[in-house]
Amino acid sequence: MAELLCTENLCRSFGGVMATNRVCFSVDNQGLTSIIGPNGAGKTTFINIVTGKIGASSGKIFFKGQEITNKPTHELVKMGICRTFQINSIFENLSVFENLRIARQAKDGGSLRIFSSKQNLKAVTEKTWALVEHLGLKDLAARPAKNLAYGDQRVLEVAIALAGDPKILFLDEPTAGMSPAETRQISKLIQELATEICVVLVEHDMDLVMSISDKITVLQYGCTIAEGTPEEIRNNQQVREAYLGKEE
């Protein structure tokens, strides 16, 4: 199977500090890959580069065989590379449905203005309702986003990203600040998504990572120190030392 996305020796330095250091990473069309590592390991920097938020100092990124290094975010989104952030990025005063309709409209192009094609608006509305029902948000569709429980807000943010029809979705600490029940809710959603598209998860909750990941990449000081299945990573001595320190 051809790789969906891969990086070759990807680097990014800040003031002489190498935040991402020759990272080689690859994922296929489906499945769940987690990126883990201690604080400061370069996880968020790495996905910021891949999703166009910041540029690479050197190295290359390929998507479906095409080089996309340093392409702007809006171009990558159109290609099917989407992400969520550590902090919610939703329109709080708009309803759940309106948040998703705007995202869907941005994907399809056009405008919601009065002189827009009624046929285009009908298609956007139908696609939006399909997404609402697919993600189990029908009962919340009319509710202002600011009135949602925190866990539902994170689900909405994932839904907004999905409105762009991503081929690969990067999730940056989606369970941060969640209760155990909310974590279970979104982890189930993530697992379901990974059967349809490629999902890349950056997460600190090791129990979650080990229970739902197909593959795990471990970063330390901007470098890849291990890759493998959850079982392989759990038993990797270098990973243990990265998290726990070397035993005396």
Catalogue all structural domains in the chain, each as residue range(s) with its CATH number.
Answer: 5-88+166-244 (3.40.50.300)
191-201 pLDDT tens trace: 999 999 999 99
The pLDDT, as a whole number, for residue 194 is: 95
Nearby residues of 148 by Cβ (< 8 Å), 6 or more positions away: 96, 140, 156
CA angle 204, 206, 212 (to 5 degrees): 110
Q: What tokens does 56 get?
A: 């690479």
The pLDDT, as a whole number, for residue 114 is: 42
Strands 58-63 vs 81-83: parallel, antiparallel or unpaired: unpaired
Strands 17-27 vs 168-172: parallel, antiparallel or unpaired: unpaired
What pTM, to 2 d.p., does this model score?
0.88
Cα–Cα nearest to 223, from 16, 5, 2, 43: 43
Measured distance CA(224)–CA(211) in Å, rounded: 21
The pLDDT, as a whole number, for residue 239 is: 92
The pLDDT, as a whole number, for residue 123 is: 85
Measured distance CA(90)–CA(92) in Å, rounded: 6
Handedness of CA 166, 11, 216, 187 (dihedral sign): negative
The pLDDT, as a whole number, for residue 101 is: 92
The pLDDT, as a whole number, for residue 94 is: 94
- What average pLDDT does the segment 22-40 reach? 94
In order of 70, 169, 200, the CA distances from 50 in angstroms are: 8, 11, 11
Measured distance CA(197)–CA(181) in Å, rounded: 25
Which range has the worst mean pLDDT, 3-12, 104-113, 219-228?
Answer: 104-113
Q: Is 16 exposed, middle or buried (0-12, 13-18, 19+ CB in 10 A)?
A: exposed
In order of 19, 60, 70, 74, the CA distances from 12 in angstroms are: 6, 11, 12, 21
The pLDDT, as a whole number, for residue 121 is: 78
The pLDDT, as a whole number, for residue 104 is: 87
104-135 pLDDT tens trace: 887 776 544 544 555 567 888 999 999 998 88
Q: 168-192 burial string, b = 16+ CB within 10 Å, else e?
A: bbbbbbbbeebeeebbebbbebbee
In this prediction, residue 245 has a pLDDT band, given cuts at 50, 70 and 90, of low
Q: Is 109 exposed, middle or buried (0-12, 13-18, 19+ CB in 10 A)?
A: exposed
What is the secondary structure of 189-219 as a DSSP string? Answer: HHHHHTTTSEEEEE-S-HHHHHHH-SEEEEE
Reduce the DSSP state of residue 220 to 3 states and report it: strand
The pLDDT, as a whole number, for residue 247 is: 46
The dihedral region occupied by 24, where left means phi > 0, alpha psi between -120 and 50, and beta the remainder, is: beta
What is the secondary structure of 155-187 as a DSSP string? Answer: HHHHHHHHTT--SEEEEESTTTT--HHHHHHHH
The pLDDT, as a whole number, for residue 40 is: 87
127-168 pLDDT tens trace: 999 999 888 889 999 999 999 998 899 889 999 999 888 999
